[in-house]
Amino acid sequence: MNANGHRAAPAAAEPQTYEAMAGPLAETSFTRPTAQMVTALSDVSAATACAKLHQMGVTRTFIDGPVPLHRTPDVHVVGGAVTLQFLPQREDVFSGAAQEDAERKTALWRVLETIRPGDVLVVSAQASHFTGCLGDMLVRYFKLRGGAGIVVDGRVRDAQRIRALGVPVWCTGVTPHYASQTELFPYAFNVPVGVGGTLVTPGDLIVADEDGAVAVPQQRAIAIAEDALAHQDREAFARHRLDAGGRLSDYYPLTGRGLEEYLASRSAD
């Protein structure tokens, strides 16, 4: 009670510091894809991988939202996923008050220090328009460790410098903010994450190109690659026939007489 006989309001809880936390949540036991899996998918497009997975009954593989930061006709990445999860800030746990210095103690720094050659960093940032999940220095370090590409369900900053680094990045846009400046903080790494409406688990293969990014389960990679390359070869044949004046209904989809022509041409080869 205070001097006026009223119950005193409880004192506000002090925010926990990063130092007081047990540390970022992490899963360290995942298995990266083999070189054979990565090589098998190296010529497979995102669209074909997505279509073939759909035919196998795995229908939610497209990571909706992220697009190439630097659009070029040859932008294409295949690699194993390592993941980073951002969650909302809450004043009694984390807030942006500590600013950038605190970030080095979070999952953001930790995940980058686990990157191996060929990894694709997949960042779950709840499609935030305000959180700049990665900038020049962090992407530069990612490149130096041999990372292959980055897919962010959110935004990045230092866009010009990132483009100059040549690291393929898929994101929903850009912002001047750094990672903890607004409403999110980097909480966990190498855990299953929801990215653009799709589940990505550490070790999944990511196939990304100008059409976007697709998550491929390891156990489907070789089968998809074999079927996908045959599919792409059939489409190349159909494209050639259409360019030569063929009827759409005869050559796309490639069935009936068109398929017979294709098989005959391959037998002749």
pLDDT mean by block of 10 residues, the chain; 269 residues = 55 48 69 96 94 94 96 92 93 63 81 97 96 96 98 97 97 93 90 96 97 97 86 87 89 84 79
Q: 173 and 97, same structural domain?
A: yes
In a domain, 84, yes or no: yes
In a domain, 18, yes or no: no
Q: Long-range CB contacts (< 8 A, 24+ apart) of 33-38?
A: 33/79, 33/80, 33/203, 33/205, 33/218, 33/221, 36/222, 37/205, 37/218, 37/221, 37/222, 37/225, 38/78, 38/79, 38/80, 38/118, 38/205
Q: 256 and 198, same structural domain?
A: no
| CATH number for the domain harbouring residue 54 | 3.50.30.40
Write out the DSSP string of 193-259. Answer: EEETTEEE-TT-EEEEETTEEEEE-GGGHHHHHHHHHHHHHHHHHHHHHHHTT--HHHHSS--HHHH
Q: 60 and 30, same structural domain?
A: yes
Q: 172 and 98, same structural domain?
A: yes
- Residue that terminates a domain, selected from 179, 197, 218: 218
In a domain, 7, yes or no: no
Q: 169 and 130, same structural domain?
A: yes
Q: 263 and 137, same structural domain?
A: no
Q: 144 and 93, same structural domain?
A: yes
Q: The tokens 């759909």 sit on which residue?
A: 54
Q: 193 and 74, same structural domain?
A: yes
Q: 167 and 195, same structural domain?
A: yes
Q: The tokens 């795995």 sit on which residue?
A: 58
Q: 118 and 251, same structural domain?
A: no
Query: What was the pLDDT predicted at 28?
Result: 67
Query: Phi-psi bin for 127: left (phi > 0), alpha (psi -120 to 50), beta?
Result: left
In a domain, 3, yes or no: no
In a domain, 106, yes or no: yes
Number of domain units in the chain: 2
Q: SS3 for 192?
A: coil
Q: 214 and 252, same structural domain?
A: no
CB under 8 Å to 12, separation ≥6 — which residues?
Answer: none
In a domain, 5, yes or no: no
Q: Is 4 exposed, middle or buried, given 0-12, 13-18 or 19+ CB atoms closer than 10 A?
A: exposed
Query: What was the pLDDT predicted at 12?
Result: 47
Taking the C-alpha atoms of residue 79 and residue 84, their distance in angstroms, rounded to an integer, is 16
For 73, phi then psi, to 5°, come to: -60, -25
Name the residue range of residue 243's domain: 224-268
Q: Could you give the count of Cα atoms lying within 13 Å of 130 in the half-sphere of its Cβ?
A: 9
In a domain, 253, yes or no: yes
Taking the C-alpha atoms of residue 157 and residue 179, their distance in angstroms, rounded to an integer, is 9
pTM for the structure as a whole: 0.83
In a domain, 198, yes or no: yes
Q: Residue 132's beta-bridge partner residues? A: 155
Q: 179 and 87, same structural domain?
A: yes
CB under 8 Å to 238, separation ≥6 — which residues?
Answer: 251, 252, 254, 258, 262
The answer to whether residues 78 and 38 touch, using CB atoms and an 8 Å cutoff, is yes
